[in-house]
């Protein structure tokens, strides 16, 4: 009898678990359907609004004013200010674009209005630069969230400048007046942690994943801009992104992985910008990417479709869309691996390999890039901060406070020592997917998934002991 009672209880518990799982799946499907329906409704509404605006702006003279400013006339009224009435993205990580908003005409203002602290560069198109204006109390510069997402959520108005006006404004500003660091990475490798480390230095502005750089990377890949135009727009974008602010003494920019191709160009245009490249073990990087997809309904649906051979065959555009978002700007032409044949593991492996390849090309051309391996960075936070601050000429008095950033993983809200070394990433990737990843890595000339790879000039955090000099500005190594 006792054995039978346990069996019944186990059966009931199993049934309850199955019902709970079914309920959870149905809820995610419902949420996804609502998301897609709302987004489609938004796109339809925007199409109707923009079509109607083409007529009303001609009648009211707004369109004539826009044409004049594009032609170089009416510089003092070249900034087109528009009120935001509705905003929508299919996913927060989607690249910023003016189509994220439905706007109504407000006024024309002097271009200098974009130099205000609460106005920031949102994205760049082939002909215009788009800024967003937020409330003065909102801080879109923070290490806990992406810059483009904060702009999207807090924007109240759009300010659009023609490209010629954009260049003139940037030329008047000149290059950034404070030290600027650009952190490039493979993604999922502690770049947010590094920005939090620098944020501990007073007067530091953190700009995480500004999509003015992302949109430029796509424009260059699609040949929408010539090489000269691309250099000019990229220079202007960085100048406006790093516009003067009395409260800021240092700027740290973290770009998306798809922007790794810009390292060489930025070094050529603005050699004073310090370049940092952060990467992680290939297996842990891919596993982390896969893990983040399990936390989002849209990403879960996308992964299910991409990794299902039957569905992917019927709807091949999903894999191509995924490739376009993550790999398009990094991949060779034609692609090294066919986008239609890659799973999510293969896609993220390609991202890792392509980013590393971009930096290898930089080191071969003697472009100064500070390469940092995430595993080494975590071993001794104090030595990491000390060595990085020494290399970048940052005052040593902020080292102790900078080590506080290492206590918590901002992506998991857990102790780093508990999340990094105690997880077995191999459980998340099946043998077939590992074989696919190894094949892709072999094409790029890298070792198998999970095997250690060191870039030339990798930052060494095992320095000998050092002591403070009489100067408060730097550390000096003791002999």
pLDDT of residue 131: 99
pLDDT at 275 over 90: yes
Identity of the highest mean pLDDT range in 128-142, 227-241, 396-410: 227-241
Asked if residues 339 and 431 have their Cβ atoms less than 8 Å apart, the reply is no
Indicate the pLDDT class of residue 409, thresholds 50, 70 and 90.
low
- What are the chain's domains? 180-203+249-477 (3.40.50)
pLDDT of residue 431: 93
Q: What is the rounded CA–CA span in Å between residue 310 and residue 412?
A: 34
Query: pLDDT tens, 11-33?
Result: 666 766 777 878 887 888 888 89
Torsion sign across C-alpha atoms 215, 216, 221, 222: positive
pLDDT at 471 over 60: no
Helix ranges restricted to H, 61-188: 62-70, 147-154, 163-173
pLDDT of residue 315: 86
Helix (H) or strand (E) holding 476: strand 475-477
Query: pLDDT tens, 289-348?
Result: 999 988 888 888 889 889 999 988 888 888 999 999 999 999 998 999 999 999 999 999
pLDDT of residue 229: 97
pTM, rounded to two decimals: 0.90
pLDDT at 2 over 60: no
Query: pLDDT tens, 88-108?
Result: 999 999 999 999 999 999 999
pLDDT at 416 over 60: no
Indicate the pLDDT class of residue 465, thresholds 50, 70 and 90.
very low
pLDDT at 151 over 80: yes
Query: pLDDT tens, 59-74?
Result: 999 999 999 999 999 9
| Percentage of the chain lying above the pLDDT 70 cut | 89
Instruction: Report, as an integer, the average pLDDT of 356-360.
Output: 97
Q: What is the rounded CA–CA span in Å between residue 255 and residue 443?
A: 26
| Structure tokens given for 228 | 């000269």
| Structure tokens given for 198 | 């620098």
pLDDT at 459 over 90: yes
Instruction: Report, as an integer, the average pLDDT of 468-478.
Output: 35
Query: pLDDT tens, 365-380?
Result: 999 999 999 999 999 9
Query: pLDDT tens, 191-222?
Result: 999 999 999 999 999 999 999 999 999 999 99
pLDDT at 419 over 50: no
pLDDT of residue 126: 95
Buried b (16+ CB within 10 A) or exposed e, 131-159: bbbbeeeeebbbbebbbbbbbbebbebbb
Q: Respond yes or no on whether the N-terminal peptide bond of residue 72 is cis (omega within 30° of 0).
A: no
Q: Which of 405-419, 422-436, 462-476 has the lowest mean pLDDT?
A: 462-476
Identity of the highest mean pLDDT range in 10-19, 161-170, 402-411: 161-170
Indicate the pLDDT class of residue 417, thresholds 50, 70 and 90.
very low
Furthest CA-CA distance within the chain: 93
Indicate the pLDDT class of residue 466, thresholds 50, 70 and 90.
very low
Please give the mean pLDDT across all residues of the chain.
89
pLDDT of residue 16: 64
A 10 A CB-CB count for 95 gives 17
Query: For strand 180-185 and strand 274-279, is the pairing parallel, antiparallel, or unpaired?
Result: parallel
Q: What is the rounded CA–CA span in Å between residue 179 and residue 344?
A: 38
pLDDT at 112 over 90: yes
């Amino acid at each position: 009898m006792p054995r039978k009672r346990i069996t019944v209880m186990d059966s009931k518990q199993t049934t309850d678990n199955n019902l709970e799982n079914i309920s959870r799946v149905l809820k995610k499907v419902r949420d996804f359907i609502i998301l897609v329906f709302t987004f489609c409704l938004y796109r339809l509404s925007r199409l109707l609004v923009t079509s109607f605006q083409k007529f009303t702006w001609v009648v009211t003279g707004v369109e004539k004013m826009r044409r004049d400013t594009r032609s170089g006339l009416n510089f003092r009224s070249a900034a087109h200010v528009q009120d935001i009435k509705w905003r929508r993205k299919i996913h927060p990580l989607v690249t910023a674009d003016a189509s994220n908003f439905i706007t109504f005409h407000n006024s024309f203002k002097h271009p200098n209005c974009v130099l205000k602290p609460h106005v920031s560069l949102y994205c760049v198109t082939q002909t215009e630069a788009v800024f967003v204006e937020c409330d003065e109390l909102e801080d879109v510069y923070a290490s806990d969230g992406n810059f483009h997402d904060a702009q999207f959520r807090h924007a109240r108005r759009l300010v659009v400048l023609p490209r010629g006006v954009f260049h003139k404004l940037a030329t008047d500003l000149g290059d950034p007046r404070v030290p600027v660091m650009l952190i490039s990475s493979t993604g999922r490798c502690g770049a947010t942690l590094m920005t939090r480390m620098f944020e501990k230095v007073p007067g530091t502005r953190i700009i995480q994943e500004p999509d003015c750089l992302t949109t430029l990377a796509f424009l260059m890949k699609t040949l929408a801009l010539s090489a000269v135009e691309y250099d000019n727009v990229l220079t202007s974008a960085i100048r406006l992104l790093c516009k003067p602010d009395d409260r800021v003494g240092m700027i740290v920019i973290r770009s998306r992985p798809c922007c790794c191709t810009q390292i060489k160009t930025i070094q050529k245009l603005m050699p004073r910008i310090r370049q940092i490249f952060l990467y992680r073990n290939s297996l842990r990087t891919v596993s982390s990417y896969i893990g983040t997809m399990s936390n989002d309904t849209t990403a879960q649906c996308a992964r299910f479709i991409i990794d299902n051979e039957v569905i992917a065959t019927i709807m091949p555009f999903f894999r191509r869309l995924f490739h376009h978002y993550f790999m398009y700007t990094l991949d060779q032409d034609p692609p090294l691996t066919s986008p239609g044949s890659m799973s999510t593991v293969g896609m993220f492996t390609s991202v890792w390999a392509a980013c590393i390849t971009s930096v290898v090309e930089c080191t071969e051309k003697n472009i100064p890039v500070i390469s940092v391996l995430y595993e080494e960075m975590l071993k001794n936070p104090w030595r990491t901060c000390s060595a990085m601050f020494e290399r970048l000429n940052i005052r040593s008095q902020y080292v102790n406070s900078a080590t506080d950033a290492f206590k918590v993983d901002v992506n998991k809200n857990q102790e780093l020592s508990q999340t990094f070394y105690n997880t077995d990433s191999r459980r998340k990737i099946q043998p077939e997917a590992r074989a696919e990843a190894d094949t892709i890595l072999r094409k790029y000339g890298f070792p198998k998934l999970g095997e250690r790879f060191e870039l030339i000039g990798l930052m060494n955090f095992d320095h000998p002991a050092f002591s403070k000099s009489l100067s408060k500005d730097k550390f000096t190594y003791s002999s």
